[in-house]
Structure 1
Amino acid sequence: MTTILVTGGTGTLGRHVTERLRADGHEVRVLSRHAQPYAVDLREGGSGLDEAVAGTDTIVHCATSQRGGDEKAARNLIAAARRAGVGHFVYISIVGVDRVPFGYYKSKLAVERMVEESGLGWTVLRTTQFHDLLLMVLRGMAKLPVLLLPARVKDQPIEVTEVAERLAELAQGAPAGRVDDMGGPEVRTFDSLARAYLKATGRRRAVARIPLRGAAYQAFRDGGHLTPERAVGTGTFDEFLAARFGNAPRR
């Protein structure tokens, strides 16, 4: 049995990783800003972080924020891992961080490079967007009477539990460097995904496709965030919606 620290262990991905590792018999420490006994803000570091890391064999770094701070958090975590002599650092990243000039993606790529240059044994897995994130985005868009979608953009969402299973598998193995990407089973237009959401939730909304400007939008439109050659996921977005909503009344 090994001791594994999961950062962001109460989040969308981290909680599933934690459950899988514990089911496999490992001692798992959950680190987040509010989870006791390892309630730590990675951006601040400090003695609490050293206490959480001390004695761990592997770190699975799932904690992230689109509001910024990922690079500072990773820097603190890597420094603590070095001090503790951690043998394996596993990082979850996103397909296309090296192809799409989007602010959050740039930060994820910078963290990848920190991990690679850390001197620790490391593994990096990139995946496409989770079904849960797509749902959150569409739910926010549907608050308006018209669903405004970026024109000519596709997506390849993946089931988070499948990513968690793969990440747990990697955490239990030897450092593997950059491993093969994971993509969802279908590449679909954002329009078709939005209409699937509206149907599943019983919402009536007009849909408008809006052309946008900028290098990031162009990269998304060109499919820089997709990996059709690595469509290894099995759970589809329609199956995710059916499990979440069943037959919803129209509103």
Structure 2
Amino acid sequence: MTTILVTGGTGTLGRPLVARLRDQGQDVRVLSRRDPHHPVDLRKGEGLDAALAGVGTVVHCASSPMGGDLEAAGNLLAAARRAGVEHLVYISIVGVDQVPYPYYRVKHQVERLVEDSGLGWTVLRATQFHHLVRSVLRALGRLPVMPLPKGLQDQPVAVEEVAGRLAELALGAPAGRVPDMGGPEVRDLPSLAEAWAAASGKGRRMVGVPLVGRTYRAFRGGGHLAPGGAVGTVTFEAFLAEQGA
């Protein structure tokens, strides 16, 4: 049995992934800044060689919109080569090559680093998690009137379902870029906001606000959607019923 290391193993996606792998009897090592056994900051790289000793597969979930992903990936890939890692699985986002949002561009650059790393690799792109959509709607719902970017759609997916797919990929052979994974429904933003308002008990007047710019046009064009990869089964309403608004 090979040891599987999960970066960001204490995060939103990392936690259910680690649990899924351990439930299947896998030897899993968690790497994060908060883990007591392997408290590694990937942006600095200190302690990576020790953390990767004896590891056969890495699932790279650690990521931050605040920056540092390129440095983190470079350090991780270099250490993985030194350790003789056989397979690196990277979770990316649908639309990183279509939407010129800065965080998406960085994720796309990390994909290229993984592809050119010399390691066996697999890249899965997923649509946004239900958690993120809820967070955005919570923030907008603090105002008496919810301003919703006009004409946008989303296709949120359950993080547990993405974790299940990543576990399958981690236990398989390197597969390159695999089909995108999306939630079960492509929804317009007002319908998602209405679902959140109903679940939270916060009645809000909603106003569509037109925005400008290349990023907004790309989102309006659906560059972040995966209607052909709608393999998730958990709807946004089901997520809110279980997790709360």
Q: Secondary structure at the match of 1:234?
A: coil
The question of 1:119 aligning with 2:118 is answered: yes
Q: Secondary structure at the match of 2:217?
A: helix
* Equivalent residue runs for 1:150-189 within 5 Å: 150-189=149-188
The question of 1:22 aligning with 2:40 is answered: no
Amino acid at match of 1:45: G
Query: What is the match of residue 3 of structure 2?
Result: 3
Corresponding pairs, count:
245
In structure 2, stretches of 5+ residues that fail to align are none
Query: What is the match of residue 66 of structure 2?
Result: 67
Q: Secondary structure at the match of 1:57?
A: strand
Contact 2:65 2:103 in 1 (8 A): yes
Q: Secondary structure at the match of 1:209?
A: strand
Query: What is the match of residue 210 of structure 2?
Result: 211
TM-score normalised by L of structure 2: 0.98
CA deviation after TM superposition for structure 1 residue 59, in Å: 0.3
Q: Distance in 2 between matches of 1:161 and 1:2?
A: 23
CA deviation after TM superposition for structure 1 residue 148, in Å: 1.1
Q: Distance in 1 between matches of 2:68 and 2:242?
A: 34
1:141-181: CA deviation from partner (whole Å, max 9, x where unpaired): 11111111110000000011010000000000000000011
1:33-73: CA deviation from partner (whole Å, max 9, x where unpaired): 11111001100002x11111111000000000000110110
Q: Distance in 1 between matches of 2:164 and 2:32?
A: 20
Q: Distance in 2 between matches of 1:52 and 1:138?
A: 38
Amino acid at match of 1:2: T
CA RMSD of aligned residues (A): 0.9
Q: Secondary structure at the match of 2:59?
A: strand
Q: Distance in 2 between matches of 1:193 and 1:155?
A: 9
Q: Distance in 2 between matches of 1:50 and 1:147?
A: 48
In structure 1, stretches of 5+ residues that fail to align are none
Q: Secondary structure at the match of 2:28?
A: strand
Amino acid at match of 1:143: R
Q: Distance in 2 between matches of 1:84 and 1:25?
A: 23
The question of 1:49 aligning with 2:48 is answered: yes
Q: Distance in 2 between matches of 1:30 and 1:146?
A: 42
Amino acid at match of 2:12: T
Contact 2:10 2:34 in 1 (8 A): no
- Percent of aligned positions with the same letter in both sequences? 64
Query: What is the match of residue 13 of structure 1?
Result: 13
1:11-50: CA deviation from partner (whole Å, max 9, x where unpaired): 110001100111111111111111111001100002x111
1:156-212: CA deviation from partner (whole Å, max 9, x where unpaired): 000110100000000000000000110110001011101100000101221111111
Q: Distance in 2 between matches of 1:172 and 1:215?
A: 39
Query: What is the match of residue 142 of structure 2?
Result: 143
Q: Distance in 2 between matches of 1:69 and 1:153?
A: 28
Q: Any runs of at least 4 consecutive aligned residues in structure 1 with deviations exceeding 3 A, and if so which? A: none
Q: Distance in 1 between matches of 2:140 and 2:222?
A: 22
Query: What is the match of residue 40 of structure 2?
Result: 40
CA deviation after TM superposition for structure 1 residue 244, in Å: 2.1
Contact 2:70 2:109 in 1 (8 A): yes
Q: Distance in 2 between matches of 1:2 and 1:146?
A: 53
Query: What is the match of residue 106 of structure 2?
Result: 107
Q: Distance in 1 between matches of 2:147 and 2:49?
A: 46
Query: What is the match of residue 220 of structure 1?
Result: 219
Q: Distance in 2 between matches of 1:139 and 1:32?
A: 27
Q: Distance in 2 between matches of 1:19 and 1:2?
A: 17
